[in-house]
Amino acid sequence: MAHKDIVLTGDRPTGPLHLGHFVGSLQNRVMLQEKYKQYVMIADLQAMTDNVDNPQKVRDNVLQVLLDYLAVGIDPKKTSIFIQSLIPQIAELYVIYMNLVTVNRLKRNPTIKVEVQQRGFGQNVTAGFLTYPVHQTADITVVKGTLIPVGIDQLPMIEQANEIARRFNHIYKVDVFPEVKALTSKVSRLPGTDGTAKMSKSLGNAIFLCDTADVVAKKVMTMYTDPKHIRVEDPGNIEGNTVFSYLDAFDPDQKRVQELKDHYQRGGLGDVKIKRYLVDVLNNLLEPIRTKREALAKDPQEVMKIALKGSDDVLEVAEQTMKEVKEAICLNYK
Protein backbone atom coordinates (compact mmCIF):
# COMPACT_ATOMS: atom_id res chain seq x y z
CA MET A 1 0.00 0.00 0.00
CA ALA A 2 0.92 3.71 0.18
CA HIS A 3 3.22 3.62 -2.78
CA LYS A 4 4.50 6.77 -4.43
CA ASP A 5 4.02 5.62 -7.99
CA ILE A 6 1.09 7.09 -9.88
CA VAL A 7 -0.50 4.95 -12.56
CA LEU A 8 -2.07 6.43 -15.67
CA THR A 9 -3.63 4.49 -18.51
CA GLY A 10 -6.36 5.05 -21.01
CA ASP A 11 -8.22 3.97 -24.10
CA ARG A 12 -9.49 5.63 -27.22
CA PRO A 13 -13.28 5.39 -27.20
CA THR A 14 -13.72 4.02 -30.70
CA GLY A 15 -15.73 0.92 -29.81
CA PRO A 16 -16.73 -1.24 -26.89
CA LEU A 17 -13.86 -3.13 -25.26
CA HIS A 18 -13.10 -6.76 -26.07
CA LEU A 19 -11.34 -9.78 -24.61
CA GLY A 20 -8.00 -8.50 -25.91
CA HIS A 21 -8.42 -5.42 -23.72
CA PHE A 22 -9.51 -7.65 -20.86
CA VAL A 23 -6.30 -9.71 -20.78
CA GLY A 24 -4.09 -6.86 -21.95
CA SER A 25 -5.13 -4.11 -19.60
CA LEU A 26 -8.48 -4.30 -17.81
CA GLN A 27 -7.58 -7.18 -15.47
CA ASN A 28 -4.35 -5.42 -14.67
CA ARG A 29 -6.10 -2.18 -13.77
CA VAL A 30 -8.42 -3.97 -11.39
CA MET A 31 -5.31 -5.20 -9.56
CA LEU A 32 -3.31 -1.98 -9.80
CA GLN A 33 -6.04 0.08 -8.16
CA GLU A 34 -5.47 -1.88 -4.93
CA LYS A 35 -1.85 -0.82 -4.77
CA TYR A 36 -1.53 2.57 -6.46
CA LYS A 37 -3.26 5.83 -7.07
CA GLN A 38 -4.62 5.11 -10.52
CA TYR A 39 -6.00 7.34 -13.25
CA VAL A 40 -7.84 5.84 -16.19
CA MET A 41 -8.51 8.22 -19.02
CA ILE A 42 -11.07 8.00 -21.80
CA ALA A 43 -9.07 9.57 -24.62
CA ASP A 44 -11.85 11.20 -26.62
CA LEU A 45 -9.61 13.89 -28.12
CA GLN A 46 -6.98 11.37 -29.09
CA ALA A 47 -9.69 9.27 -30.72
CA MET A 48 -10.46 12.28 -32.93
CA THR A 49 -6.97 12.07 -34.46
CA ASP A 50 -8.08 9.24 -36.70
CA ASN A 51 -11.84 9.78 -36.57
CA VAL A 52 -11.95 13.40 -37.69
CA ASP A 53 -15.14 12.92 -39.65
CA ASN A 54 -16.89 10.77 -37.07
CA PRO A 55 -17.24 12.67 -33.80
CA GLN A 56 -20.56 11.01 -32.97
CA LYS A 57 -18.88 7.60 -32.96
CA VAL A 58 -16.34 8.84 -30.44
CA ARG A 59 -19.02 10.47 -28.33
CA ASP A 60 -21.18 7.34 -28.24
CA ASN A 61 -18.29 5.12 -27.30
CA VAL A 62 -17.28 7.18 -24.29
CA LEU A 63 -20.28 5.65 -22.51
CA GLN A 64 -19.55 2.17 -23.89
CA VAL A 65 -15.97 2.21 -22.63
CA LEU A 66 -17.08 3.61 -19.30
CA LEU A 67 -19.64 0.80 -18.93
CA ASP A 68 -16.93 -1.74 -19.70
CA TYR A 69 -14.61 -0.25 -17.08
CA LEU A 70 -17.24 -0.37 -14.38
CA ALA A 71 -18.52 -3.80 -15.37
CA VAL A 72 -15.09 -5.44 -15.06
CA GLY A 73 -14.55 -3.93 -11.64
CA ILE A 74 -12.58 -0.74 -12.10
CA ASP A 75 -13.84 0.95 -8.98
CA PRO A 76 -14.41 4.71 -9.13
CA LYS A 77 -13.75 4.88 -5.40
CA LYS A 78 -10.21 3.68 -6.00
CA THR A 79 -9.55 4.82 -9.55
CA SER A 80 -10.17 8.27 -11.00
CA ILE A 81 -11.88 7.61 -14.31
CA PHE A 82 -11.85 10.78 -16.38
CA ILE A 83 -12.53 12.21 -19.81
CA GLN A 84 -9.57 13.72 -21.63
CA SER A 85 -11.40 16.67 -23.19
CA LEU A 86 -12.68 17.80 -19.79
CA ILE A 87 -9.14 18.58 -18.69
CA PRO A 88 -8.12 21.73 -20.61
CA GLN A 89 -4.68 21.67 -18.95
CA ILE A 90 -3.83 18.66 -21.11
CA ALA A 91 -4.32 20.76 -24.22
CA GLU A 92 -2.30 23.58 -22.65
CA LEU A 93 0.61 21.30 -21.86
CA TYR A 94 0.42 19.91 -25.39
CA VAL A 95 1.02 23.40 -26.82
CA ILE A 96 3.95 23.99 -24.47
CA TYR A 97 5.51 20.60 -25.24
CA MET A 98 5.32 21.15 -28.99
CA ASN A 99 8.39 23.39 -28.65
CA LEU A 100 10.33 20.65 -26.90
CA VAL A 101 10.27 18.10 -29.70
CA THR A 102 11.36 18.24 -33.34
CA VAL A 103 9.25 17.24 -36.32
CA ASN A 104 12.01 14.82 -37.30
CA ARG A 105 11.89 13.13 -33.93
CA LEU A 106 8.13 12.67 -34.25
CA LYS A 107 8.48 11.21 -37.72
CA ARG A 108 11.01 8.70 -36.42
CA ASN A 109 8.71 7.35 -33.68
CA PRO A 110 8.43 3.67 -34.70
CA THR A 111 4.88 3.27 -33.42
CA ILE A 112 3.71 6.31 -35.34
CA LYS A 113 5.48 5.08 -38.47
CA VAL A 114 3.58 1.79 -38.34
CA GLU A 115 0.26 3.44 -37.54
CA VAL A 116 0.59 6.00 -40.34
CA GLN A 117 1.26 3.14 -42.73
CA GLN A 118 -1.65 1.02 -41.41
CA ARG A 119 -4.05 3.91 -41.88
CA GLY A 120 -2.70 4.76 -45.33
CA PHE A 121 -1.98 8.38 -44.38
CA GLY A 122 1.42 8.58 -46.09
CA GLN A 123 2.55 12.18 -46.58
CA ASN A 124 -0.98 13.38 -45.77
CA VAL A 125 -0.74 12.55 -42.10
CA THR A 126 -2.27 15.37 -40.08
CA ALA A 127 -0.27 17.35 -37.55
CA GLY A 128 -2.70 16.06 -34.93
CA PHE A 129 -1.92 12.44 -35.66
CA LEU A 130 1.83 12.93 -36.01
CA THR A 131 1.96 14.75 -32.69
CA TYR A 132 -0.38 12.59 -30.66
CA PRO A 133 2.59 11.20 -28.70
CA VAL A 134 3.10 14.78 -27.47
CA HIS A 135 -0.57 14.94 -26.52
CA GLN A 136 -0.11 11.64 -24.72
CA THR A 137 2.87 13.07 -22.87
CA ALA A 138 0.52 15.76 -21.63
CA ASP A 139 -1.97 13.09 -20.48
CA ILE A 140 0.71 11.40 -18.42
CA THR A 141 2.42 14.47 -17.00
CA VAL A 142 -0.72 16.42 -16.10
CA VAL A 143 -1.20 14.01 -13.20
CA LYS A 144 2.58 13.40 -12.86
CA GLY A 145 2.10 9.78 -13.80
CA THR A 146 5.15 7.61 -13.15
CA LEU A 147 3.97 4.13 -14.01
CA ILE A 148 2.34 3.54 -17.38
CA PRO A 149 1.04 0.05 -18.15
CA VAL A 150 1.55 -0.50 -21.87
CA GLY A 151 2.01 -3.16 -24.49
CA ILE A 152 5.54 -3.40 -25.90
CA ASP A 153 4.43 -1.68 -29.10
CA GLN A 154 3.81 1.43 -26.99
CA LEU A 155 7.32 1.63 -25.52
CA PRO A 156 8.42 4.35 -27.98
CA MET A 157 5.60 6.49 -26.58
CA ILE A 158 7.01 6.28 -23.08
CA GLU A 159 10.49 7.07 -24.37
CA GLN A 160 9.14 10.13 -26.13
CA ALA A 161 7.26 11.23 -23.01
CA ASN A 162 10.45 10.97 -20.98
CA GLU A 163 12.45 12.96 -23.51
CA ILE A 164 9.93 15.78 -23.38
CA ALA A 165 9.56 15.76 -19.60
CA ARG A 166 13.33 15.67 -19.07
CA ARG A 167 13.83 18.44 -21.56
CA PHE A 168 11.28 20.56 -19.71
CA ASN A 169 13.01 20.01 -16.37
CA HIS A 170 16.42 20.65 -17.91
CA ILE A 171 15.65 23.83 -19.87
CA TYR A 172 13.69 25.49 -17.10
CA LYS A 173 15.97 24.14 -14.35
CA VAL A 174 13.13 22.65 -12.36
CA ASP A 175 12.11 19.26 -11.09
CA VAL A 176 8.44 19.41 -11.97
CA PHE A 177 8.15 16.07 -13.75
CA PRO A 178 9.24 12.70 -12.39
CA GLU A 179 10.71 9.95 -14.56
CA VAL A 180 8.07 7.90 -16.39
CA LYS A 181 8.36 4.13 -16.29
CA ALA A 182 6.60 1.66 -18.56
CA LEU A 183 4.93 -1.28 -16.91
CA THR A 184 4.91 -3.94 -19.60
CA SER A 185 2.57 -6.83 -19.03
CA LYS A 186 3.81 -10.39 -19.09
CA VAL A 187 0.67 -11.80 -20.67
CA SER A 188 1.13 -12.40 -24.36
CA ARG A 189 -1.23 -10.76 -26.77
CA LEU A 190 -4.57 -12.42 -27.34
CA PRO A 191 -5.05 -13.51 -30.98
CA GLY A 192 -8.25 -12.71 -32.85
CA THR A 193 -10.91 -15.39 -33.38
CA ASP A 194 -9.51 -15.83 -36.90
CA GLY A 195 -6.12 -16.79 -35.49
CA THR A 196 -4.35 -13.59 -36.57
CA ALA A 197 -1.92 -12.01 -34.16
CA LYS A 198 -4.15 -9.37 -32.65
CA MET A 199 -7.76 -9.09 -31.60
CA SER A 200 -9.17 -5.82 -32.87
CA LYS A 201 -12.53 -4.33 -33.68
CA SER A 202 -11.38 -3.13 -37.09
CA LEU A 203 -10.22 -6.61 -38.09
CA GLY A 204 -13.65 -8.04 -37.24
CA ASN A 205 -12.13 -10.81 -35.11
CA ALA A 206 -13.10 -9.59 -31.65
CA ILE A 207 -15.28 -10.94 -28.87
CA PHE A 208 -16.69 -7.96 -26.99
CA LEU A 209 -17.39 -7.87 -23.28
CA CYS A 210 -20.94 -6.82 -24.17
CA ASP A 211 -21.56 -9.69 -26.63
CA THR A 212 -24.53 -11.87 -25.69
CA ALA A 213 -23.98 -15.52 -24.80
CA ASP A 214 -25.30 -16.50 -28.24
CA VAL A 215 -22.97 -14.18 -30.08
CA VAL A 216 -20.02 -15.49 -28.06
CA ALA A 217 -21.02 -19.07 -29.00
CA LYS A 218 -21.33 -18.16 -32.67
CA LYS A 219 -17.93 -16.47 -32.73
CA VAL A 220 -16.24 -19.36 -30.96
CA MET A 221 -17.78 -21.93 -33.32
CA THR A 222 -16.12 -20.20 -36.30
CA MET A 223 -12.80 -19.93 -34.51
CA TYR A 224 -9.53 -20.85 -36.17
CA THR A 225 -8.11 -24.18 -34.92
CA ASP A 226 -5.78 -26.63 -36.66
CA PRO A 227 -6.65 -26.68 -40.36
CA LYS A 228 -5.05 -30.15 -40.71
CA HIS A 229 -7.23 -31.61 -37.98
CA ILE A 230 -9.95 -33.02 -40.23
CA ARG A 231 -11.20 -36.18 -38.56
CA VAL A 232 -11.84 -36.44 -34.84
CA GLU A 233 -9.47 -39.40 -34.50
CA ASP A 234 -6.57 -37.49 -36.11
CA PRO A 235 -3.91 -36.04 -33.79
CA GLY A 236 -4.37 -32.28 -33.58
CA ASN A 237 -1.94 -29.41 -33.22
CA ILE A 238 -2.29 -27.04 -30.28
CA GLU A 239 0.37 -24.56 -31.45
CA GLY A 240 -1.30 -21.52 -32.98
CA ASN A 241 -4.66 -23.12 -32.24
CA THR A 242 -6.81 -20.22 -31.12
CA VAL A 243 -9.15 -22.31 -28.98
CA PHE A 244 -6.24 -23.44 -26.84
CA SER A 245 -4.73 -19.94 -26.71
CA TYR A 246 -8.03 -18.76 -25.27
CA LEU A 247 -8.26 -21.66 -22.84
CA ASP A 248 -4.74 -20.79 -21.66
CA ALA A 249 -5.85 -17.20 -21.13
CA PHE A 250 -9.28 -17.71 -19.60
CA ASP A 251 -9.87 -21.15 -18.11
CA PRO A 252 -9.38 -21.07 -14.34
CA ASP A 253 -8.99 -24.88 -14.48
CA GLN A 254 -5.55 -25.13 -16.11
CA LYS A 255 -5.20 -28.79 -15.14
CA ARG A 256 -8.22 -29.54 -17.26
CA VAL A 257 -6.73 -27.48 -20.11
CA GLN A 258 -3.59 -29.64 -19.99
CA GLU A 259 -5.71 -32.82 -20.16
CA LEU A 260 -7.63 -31.46 -23.14
CA LYS A 261 -4.36 -30.53 -24.85
CA ASP A 262 -2.98 -34.03 -24.32
CA HIS A 263 -6.16 -35.63 -25.62
CA TYR A 264 -6.30 -33.31 -28.65
CA GLN A 265 -2.67 -34.07 -29.54
CA ARG A 266 -3.22 -37.82 -29.17
CA GLY A 267 -6.28 -37.68 -31.39
CA GLY A 268 -9.90 -38.45 -30.59
CA LEU A 269 -10.96 -35.00 -29.45
CA GLY A 270 -13.01 -33.01 -31.94
CA ASP A 271 -12.96 -29.29 -32.59
CA VAL A 272 -16.67 -28.94 -31.85
CA LYS A 273 -16.13 -30.42 -28.38
CA ILE A 274 -13.30 -28.08 -27.43
CA LYS A 275 -15.18 -25.13 -28.86
CA ARG A 276 -18.28 -25.93 -26.82
CA TYR A 277 -16.06 -26.19 -23.77
CA LEU A 278 -14.52 -22.79 -24.55
CA VAL A 279 -17.97 -21.25 -25.01
CA ASP A 280 -18.79 -22.30 -21.44
CA VAL A 281 -15.50 -20.96 -20.10
CA LEU A 282 -15.98 -17.60 -21.79
CA ASN A 283 -19.62 -17.25 -20.88
CA ASN A 284 -18.84 -18.09 -17.25
CA LEU A 285 -16.29 -15.30 -17.27
CA LEU A 286 -18.48 -12.83 -19.13
CA GLU A 287 -21.83 -13.51 -17.47
CA PRO A 288 -21.26 -11.42 -14.32
CA ILE A 289 -19.66 -8.66 -16.41
CA ARG A 290 -22.60 -8.69 -18.82
CA THR A 291 -25.14 -8.60 -16.00
CA LYS A 292 -23.46 -5.69 -14.30
CA ARG A 293 -23.07 -3.87 -17.62
CA GLU A 294 -26.73 -4.27 -18.52
CA ALA A 295 -27.85 -3.03 -15.13
CA LEU A 296 -25.61 0.05 -15.38
CA ALA A 297 -26.64 0.73 -18.97
CA LYS A 298 -30.22 1.33 -17.84
CA ASP A 299 -29.20 4.71 -16.46
CA PRO A 300 -26.58 6.23 -18.77
CA GLN A 301 -26.75 9.64 -17.12
CA GLU A 302 -25.92 8.21 -13.74
CA VAL A 303 -23.00 6.34 -15.27
CA MET A 304 -21.70 9.43 -17.04
CA LYS A 305 -21.75 11.24 -13.70
CA ILE A 306 -19.00 8.89 -12.53
CA ALA A 307 -16.68 10.11 -15.29
CA LEU A 308 -17.66 13.73 -14.65
CA LYS A 309 -16.85 13.34 -10.96
CA GLY A 310 -13.54 11.65 -11.83
CA SER A 311 -12.76 14.51 -14.19
CA ASP A 312 -13.43 17.05 -11.45
CA ASP A 313 -10.93 15.26 -9.22
CA VAL A 314 -8.34 15.29 -11.99
CA LEU A 315 -8.96 18.99 -12.63
CA GLU A 316 -7.70 19.78 -9.14
CA VAL A 317 -4.47 17.89 -9.74
CA ALA A 318 -4.14 19.41 -13.21
CA GLU A 319 -4.47 22.94 -11.88
CA GLN A 320 -1.66 22.33 -9.44
CA THR A 321 0.60 20.87 -12.15
CA MET A 322 -0.20 23.79 -14.43
CA LYS A 323 0.68 26.27 -11.73
CA GLU A 324 4.14 24.74 -11.41
CA VAL A 325 4.57 24.62 -15.17
CA LYS A 326 3.56 28.24 -15.67
CA GLU A 327 5.89 29.32 -12.94
CA ALA A 328 8.75 27.48 -14.61
CA ILE A 329 8.10 29.11 -17.97
CA CYS A 330 7.50 32.58 -16.55
CA LEU A 331 3.82 32.74 -17.43
CA ASN A 332 2.71 33.11 -13.85
CA TYR A 333 0.74 36.33 -14.27
CA LYS A 334 -1.73 35.51 -11.54
Q: How far is the CB of 181 from ligand TRP (least distance, A)?
A: 12
Asked whether the beta carbons of 163 and 177 are under 8 A apart, the reply is: no
Pick between residue 72 and residue 140 the one whose CB is nearest to ligand TRP.
140
User: Which residues are within 8 A (CB) of 327 and not within 5 positions of it... i.e. 6 or more apart?
Assistant: none
> Is-contact 166 225, C-beta < 8 A?
no
Report which residue type is found at 263: H
Q: How many amino acids of this chain bind ligand TRP (CB under 6 A)? A: 12
Helix (H) or strand (E) holding 149: strand 147-150
The smaller minimum CB distance to ligand TRP, of residues 9 and 146, is found at: 9
Contact of 19 with 193, CB cutoff 8 Å: no
- Is 52 exposed, middle or buried, given 0-12, 13-18 or 19+ CB atoms closer than 10 A? exposed
The least CB distance from residue 24 to ligand TRP, in Å, is 10
Shortest gap between Cβ of 178 and ligand TRP (angstroms)?
15
Name beta bridge partners: 53: none
Residue 279 in contact with residue 217, Cβ under 8 Å?
Answer: yes
| 209 belongs to the binding site for ligand TRP (CB under 6 A) | no
Q: DSSP 3-state helix, strand, coil percentages of the chain (rounded to 5)?
A: 60, 10, 30
Figure out which of the listed residues 7, 10, 42, 62 binds ligand TRP, where binding follows CB under 6 A.
10
- Name which position in 6, 7, 11, 116 contacts ligand TRP (CB under 6 A): 11
Closest to ligand TRP by CB, 50 vs 251, is 50
Nearest approach, Cβ of residue 169 and ligand TRP (Å): 19
Q: Which of residues 140 and 223 has its CB atom nearest to ligand TRP in the complex?
A: 140
Which CB sits closer to ligand TRP, 70 or 112?
112
**First-to-last C-alpha distance (Å) of the chain:** 37
Choose one: 6-14, 31-39, 169-177, 266-274; the region binding ligand TRP (CB under 6 A): 6-14
Least distance to ligand TRP from the beta carbon of 111, Å? 9
| Closest CB to ligand TRP among residues 38, 225 | 38
Q: How far is the CB of 87 from ligand TRP (least distance, A)?
A: 12
Residues 111-150 that bind ligand TRP (CB under 6 A): 136, 139-140, 148
Q: 64 vs 242, which CB is nearer to ligand TRP?
A: 64
Distance in Å, CB of 83 to ligand TRP, minimum: 12
Which is nearer to ligand TRP, 11 or 211 (by Cβ)?
11
Subset of residues 36 to 65 that bind ligand TRP, contact rule: CB under 6 A: 41, 43, 46
Cα 269 to Cα 164: distance, rounded to the nearest angstrom:
55
Q: Residue-wise over 98-124: b if at least 16 C-beta within 10 A, else e?
A: bebbeeeebeebebbeebbeeeeeeee
Q: What is the rounded distance in angstroms from the CA atom of residue 326 to the CA atom of residue 333?
A: 9
CB of 136 to ligand TRP, least distance (A): 4
Q: Rg of the chain over CA atoms, in angstroms? A: 22
Site for ligand TRP in 145-184 (CB under 6 A): 148
Residue type at 86?
Answer: L
For ligand TRP, the binding residues (CB under 6 A) are 8-12, 41, 43, 46, 136, 139-140, 148
